[in-house]
Amino acid sequence: MPVSMDIILGGIGDALNFYTIAFVVLGVLIGILVGSIPGLNGPMAIAIAVPMTFYLQPLAAIGMLVGIMKGSTVGGAVPAILLNTPGTPDSAITAIDGYPLAKKGKPFKALKMALYSSVSGDTMSDLVLFTVSAPIAMVALMLGPTDLAAIIFFSICLIMCMIGDDPFKGMLAAGTGFLLAAVGLAPGEGTPRMTFDILELEDGLSLVSVGIGVLVLGEVLMAIRNSGNKVTSTLPPSAGKDANRLGLKDYVSCGRTILRSGAIGTAIGATPGIGSTLAAVTGYTLAKRASKNADKFGTGELEGIAAAEAANSSVSGSNLIPLLTLGIPGNVAAAFLVGALTIHGVTPGPTLFQDQGRLIYALFTAMVIANISNLAIGRLGLQMFGLVAKVPQSIVYPVVLLLCMTGAWISANEMVGCVLMVVFGIIGFFMRLLKIPVITFVIAFVLGKMWELPLTQMMLLTDGELVKMIQHPVAVVFSLSGLLLLSFVTWKRKSEKRLAKESTTSDLKST
């Protein structure tokens, strides 16, 4: 059913109060600071912050987490440009042109272009979210449990294919995530599964403890193992204010690139499991092909910075489209938002606009506030964030560990949360050593909890006979698409490995 204007205006009014605005701005500030520190990223900050929002109002809590997500994309460009030490793969694309421009004595010009293009791409993505999410939710209301089970299955196949170089390791990570999602009481039956007679496990494994352990603690342990790498600045002195000034003409000259990359990032963000790295790579590659100055890319070209930042930031808004309309998280940050929404009694999915329409439009308004805050805080704090990027890891990681323990304790309100965090931190560490994609694991863990109920209902409706799925064409299309995609990607990667092996063998023989 259409959303009334009273609900929309009421949601906007709810967001425009000092309490909500303060927490959104705080989230943006935290996100930029975290993104500015090499080795930290937005999903890590969100994982730690989720339990901290227990005592906040739902809108302020979700707005703060969205602010962290948006701020971290802007902050990620700081170490990439100033130190050539990107904390995430997508910001590594920014470093290709950002760091050479900084070495020419124009670090603040590079940072300004990264900031403006990032906010521009993010705003484009948000506009698409505001426009299409309600109609998609109305269509999703027409889907039955069989269709929803098939859509989640397709998302799982897509995630396994897109994350990681080895589909087998992707399947292993996803399978492990599903298995651990089943810990606790079975829905409908109420019988305990894999609890080992531990009463605290009957409610299932906490997403916060699992996420903080695998995503944050595992990364910290890996960084400690590789602690020989020190972050040092090799920047020459600034060339002066005039050289670092970014005029309107510079921004307008990159306008077409920003629009193109924003559209690419928005489309990629709306597809579960692909993420901002592919968006940044695709945006940068297409910008280079379309540019008249393609030969200057990699030497400090503003257009290259704009292409990468507009693409990776535009994922932030559109990755909420599958979350708000279908209840399917598009990436790890969205997966933690699922946990935060659930904590505050909000169930993401097709009925969300119908049941919580006012909250959703208040959230949309909070996202606009976050974009404005990103622009203002980023512009005012460029020099300060450059100093934050040089904070030594010997200070950063003890603080992160303390926050991890605090968050795990708050989420479970007892020691079991900390124990689970440590266990999954060790698991996350070995997953990284074995190059098993942790992102696939976390998203599969979240999807596993969502998939079980519609899958059970589907089996009841079809009497366990999958042939009866023919009566549900939407389910058939998504199920077959997922299987074909998984088969094609597996075959393609095996072929690439075989060709690479044959090429190596022929080279050895020729020498």
Degrees to nearest 5, angle at CA 71 with 205 and 264: 90
C-alpha closest to that of 305 among 50, 118, 494: 118
Mean pLDDT value across the chain: 80
Predicted TM-score (pTM) of this structure:
0.76
Residue 1 binned pLDDT confidence (cut-offs 50, 70, 90): very low
pLDDT for the residue 25? 94
Per-residue DSSP letter, 2: P
What is the tens place of the pLDDT at every residue in 195-206? 777 777 777 787
Q: What is the mean pLDDT of residues 322-338?
A: 78
> Would residue 235 count as lying in a domain?
no
> Would residue 201 count as lying in a domain?
yes
Q: What is the dihedral of CA 116, 45, 365, 133, to 10 degrees?
A: 100
> Would residue 237 count as lying in a domain?
no
Q: Give residue 388's domain range.
A: 5-230+244-510
Residue 231 binned pLDDT confidence (cut-offs 50, 70, 90): very low
What is the tens place of the pLDDT at every residue in 44-95? 788 888 888 888 888 999 999 999 989 888 888 888 888 776 656 667 788 8
203-207, 317-321, 324-328 — most confident range = 317-321
> What is the helix (H) or strand (E) element at residue 126, kind and residue range?
helix 107-140
pLDDT surpassing 60 at residue 237? no
pLDDT for the residue 88? 63
Count of other CB atoms within 10 angstroms of residue 51? 25
> Would residue 107 count as lying in a domain?
yes
Number of domains comprising the chain: 1
> Would residue 238 count as lying in a domain?
no
What is the tens place of the pLDDT at every residue in 402-449? 877 877 777 666 677 788 888 888 998 998 888 888 877 877 887 777
What is the tens place of the pLDDT at every residue in 238-253? 556 666 778 888 888 8
Percent of the chain with pLDDT over 70: 85
pLDDT for the residue 24? 94
Report the C-alpha gap between 329 and 322 in whole angstroms: 6
> Would residue 80 count as lying in a domain?
yes
> Would residue 239 count as lying in a domain?
no
